[in-house]
Each structure stands twice: as structure tokens, then as C-alpha cells.
Amino acid sequence: MPVQYDIRGRTATAIGASIERAIRQGRLAAGDHLPTVRALASRLRVSPATVLGAYHSLRRRGLLVARGRGGTSVSARPPLPTRAAPPVPRHARNLGDGNPDPALLPRLDGALAALDPRPRLYTERGADPALLAIAARQFAAEGIPIPALCVVGGALDGIERALQAHLRPGDRVAVEDPGFSAVLDLAGALGLAVEPMRVDDRGPLPDEMERALRRGAHACVITPRAQNPTGAALDVRRAAELRRVLARHPETLVLEDDHAGPVAGSPAVTLCDADRRRWAVVRSVSKSLGPDLRLAVMSGDPTTITRVEGRQLIGAGWVSHILQGLVVRLWSDAQVTRLLRRAEAAYAARRAAMLRALATHGIAASGRSGMNVWVPVAEEVTTVRLLLDAGWAVTGGERFRIHSPPAIRISIATLAPEDAGAVAAALATVLAPARQTRSA
């Protein structure tokens, strides 16, 4: 049902400002449904075109989303500073935030102490050559081409800059469904129309990619491993199938979000090659070295990389040399390398334990890589609420979905294998009434 919030205004600008103010103040929350265009026009005594203009403006800025018969609602992460989400109750374990395990992140004190202490000036802007050299070796060892490299402020920063380098508001972009909510929100904030591609355990389905590209998608955003929220990971066979699809669409911009990198639990597989006209692979350090290190290295075709760097120069200018120096030292530290291997093994063990525990109760789930397990359910809101009552905070799947069916996301990064059984048992209890009804 639409939220009964007193939207005001006689012009599209005023109506839009009223809705935006309500989102900012927390009176309209993520997922809240707005009145239909005709209903709001009748209430405000304005033309439907006026309300449609207000809704369209807010959708173009990423505040609202329209899903056909599902109506218009507030986006999962509107690009506004809003009130923080309510904290997880003390009685509950947080399996919903998607953070890496702090115990598996390297300490920064040694790397900080080794940094060059001299002040850096505007004349020294740009990428650290040592960082680019290490990144080039990593990419080359994994079969990822390196015709050009740059450093950006995290995976989403790189994706945003690459999309802006080639696309304009109104263009279509193919995205995974379910897929990372921030990518969906980013597309909305950039005024791009999304073309969903269903995924399975091995990534986007080839026929889904073909359909999205035939519908005019100018770009395609893929998570090659540790896909959020499903844990999907490309394998060699699926990558070959998708490459054949992309070969029929040589002008499509292909973007790969390798956000988990060495702790993904699956080998790097890429859809990109040096002969492709427009592409980029973005590797973030947030999951492996720490979310506060807002840094990613991007490899791509020379045109894309040059455009990304050019736009960066007139904005942020460059990524802090302090952050770049930290990553150089961490990537060069043998102890950190061993820690990353231990982290990869730990996440894999925790993920496998969760999947086994769910299977014991006959609950289907996916999670080939990464830090999440995706569990289809009949009804998300009730499942999330009842699990929270049982002491487990998980995330409802709505924010990740376009057309794919309901599910919940369980983040396993901090869940010890011996605790997986308790989570699965609680979920089995929550799902029991619905499963009994279906079998009756």
C-alpha cells in the first residue's frame, strides 16, 4: 500500500521537493510505495502530467524506482544523507551487513609507519607507479589484459566513472538480477535504464545477456566472482558462452566488478580481452584489506581509462598517495599475503558450512564464492522479521532484485562454521508453515 505521507505542491518542482524532503527526514523510507500518478494528481488537484514530471525527475536522480505494476517506490539507497538504519538489537547476531571479518583484515600500523612522511603537493598527483606495477603483475598472472591502468576511489567509483565516460542519461545498461543494490541505485542516479539479466551459480545466463543487449543496452556490468548477493562465480565454460554473446555486440561497454579479489574463493575469470573496444576490470581492496581503504585499480582499454582519468582530474584529482602507499606496502608484505590466503580459506569454510546446514533441512541456497549465501523464500519481510526474533539479523532480498523471485541474503563473513546449524534450524522453523502449506 502507498505510504500516507502528506505530499504537497502545485508544480512538478514543488511536488518533487516535498517527496525529497520526506526521504531526507526519514518520513519516507527505502521501499515505501508512493501513490499512483492519477491518485496523487487528484489529491493535489493538478494534472497527471505534473505528478509524472515530479516522479520522472526523482527517478532520474535515483531517489525513486518504477517497477511496472509494482508502482513507484523509494529506492533502496536514495542518494541523499538520510537517517541511519535502526541498529541490530542486542540479542541478535548481525548476518546482514556484508562486512568482511575484522579479524581477517591486516593491521595497518606497520604499513603506516613505513610510509614516506614528506608532504605531497599538487604536482605529484596521479597514480603511484609502484602500485600500478604490482597491479599489472596481478592482472597478467590471471589472464586479465593490461593495455592501460588507473587508480580510482573504490569499485563503485570506477564503475560510475566508466559508465559516465561512455553513456548518457536515458541509455540502457545490462545488470545482474539479483545484483548488487549499489549498482542498481547507481544506474538510477545516473539516469540509466536497467536491463536485468538473470543469474545462476555461474553468473549471468547467456540468453539473458543476449536479450538485454538486443534491447539496446550500451553497457553490461558483471561481477565475475563473489557476486553480491548470490555468491555466483564465472567458470571457464560460462565465460566462453558469454564471450560469444559479447562478440556479437562489439560496441557494448563491458565492466567487471572484482570487488573481493584474492579472498573471493574462486579463481579470476574475465570476459574482457585486449581486442575488445570498450571494457574495464575494477579490482577493489575493500573486502581483502579493509573497507576504509577507498581504493581500486582499473585495467581497461586506453580510451576508457583516459576518459576516467580525465574526469578524475577535474574532480577529486587523484586518489590519496597515503592510501596508495598503504596498499603498496600491504600487497608487498609476505605476512599480508599469508593472511589473505587464510581469509579466503576461512570464508570458503564458513560458506560451505552454511550451505551444508541449510541442505540438512532441505533448504535450497546458493553461494559458490564470496561472503554471502542467497536463500529463496516465499515472503521476505516476514522471514526477516521472524529470524530477527530468533536472534539472527539477515537482509531481505528486495533491494537486490528486479524481476527475480524473493530471497534473503545471509552474510557468513563472521559466522563460525559451528554456528551455521543454529541459523539453519531457525530458518527451517520460520519456513515450516509455508512449506507445510505447499505440501498439503
Does the pLDDT at position 70 exceed 90? no
What CATH number does residue 381 fall under? 3.90.1150.10
Domain range for 407 = 93-103+336-439
Residues 325 and 345 in one domain: no
What CATH number does residue 123 fall under? 3.40.640.10
pLDDT per residue as tens digits for the range 341-391: 999 999 999 999 999 999 999 999 999 999 999 999 999 999 999 999 999
DSSP helix/strand/coil, 423: helix
- Chain-centroid distance, C-alpha 293: 17
pLDDT per residue as tens digits for the range 19-35: 999 988 888 988 889 99
Burial class (CB in 10 A: 0-12, 13-18, 19+), 120: middle
* pLDDT class of 82 with cuts at 50, 70, 90: low
Bigger pLDDT: 277 vs 68: 277
Q: Specify the range with the lowest mean pLDDT, choosing from 84-93, 253-262, 331-340, 401-410.
A: 84-93
Does the pLDDT at position 85 exceed 70? no
Other C-beta atoms lying within 10 Å of the C-beta of residue 149: 18
Provide the sign of the torsion angle of the four alpha carbons 407, 408, 411, 417, taken in this order.
negative
Residues 248 and 268 in one domain: yes
Last residue in a domain, options 332, 355, 385: 332
What CATH number does residue 39 fall under? 1.10.10.10
Q: What is the pLDDT of residue 424?
A: 98
Amino acid residing at 223 = T
Q: What is the pTM of this model?
A: 0.87
Q: What is the pLDDT of residue 4?
A: 55
Within a domain: 84: no
Last residue in a domain, options 281, 315, 332: 332
Containing 217, the helix (H) or strand (E) segment is strand 217-222
Within a domain: 158: yes
Residues 362 and 253 in one domain: no
Within a domain: 83: no
Residues 98 and 181 in one domain: no
Residues 306 and 171 in one domain: yes
Residues 308 and 352 in one domain: no
pLDDT per residue as tens digits for the range 5-20: 689 999 999 999 999 9
Residues 176 and 158 in one domain: yes
Residues 321 and 415 in one domain: no
User: Look-up: residue for cell 545498461?
Assistant: 173
From residue 178, alpha-carbon distances to 9, 67, 230, 398, 420 in Å are 36, 14, 7, 9, 24
Residues 306 and 200 in one domain: yes
Does the pLDDT at position 418 exceed 60? yes
Does the pLDDT at position 202 exceed 80? yes
Residues 283 and 372 in one domain: no
Within a domain: 188: yes
Residues 120 and 190 in one domain: yes
> Are the beta carbons of 124 and 424 closer than 8 angstroms?
no
Residues 247 and 124 in one domain: yes
* Rounded distance between C-alpha atoms, residue 321 and residue 120, angstroms: 8
Other C-beta atoms lying within 10 Å of the C-beta of residue 171: 18
Containing 131, the helix (H) or strand (E) segment is helix 129-141
Pick the closest to residue 28 from 75, 96, 94, 92 (CA basis).
Answer: 75
Does the pLDDT at position 1 exceed 60? no
Within a domain: 219: yes
Within a domain: 367: yes
Bigger pLDDT: 278 vs 85: 278
In sequence order, what DSSP letters do the residues of 19-34 get, joined into one string?
Answer: HHHHHHHTSS-TTPBP
What order of strands is seen across the sheet that includes strand 372-376? 372-376, 407-411, 395-396
Within a domain: 88: no
* pLDDT class of 434 with cuts at 50, 70, 90: low
Last residue in a domain, options 332, 363, 390: 332
Containing 198, the helix (H) or strand (E) segment is strand 193-200
Within a domain: 281: yes
- Total number of domains constituting the chain: 3
428, three cell numbers: 527451517
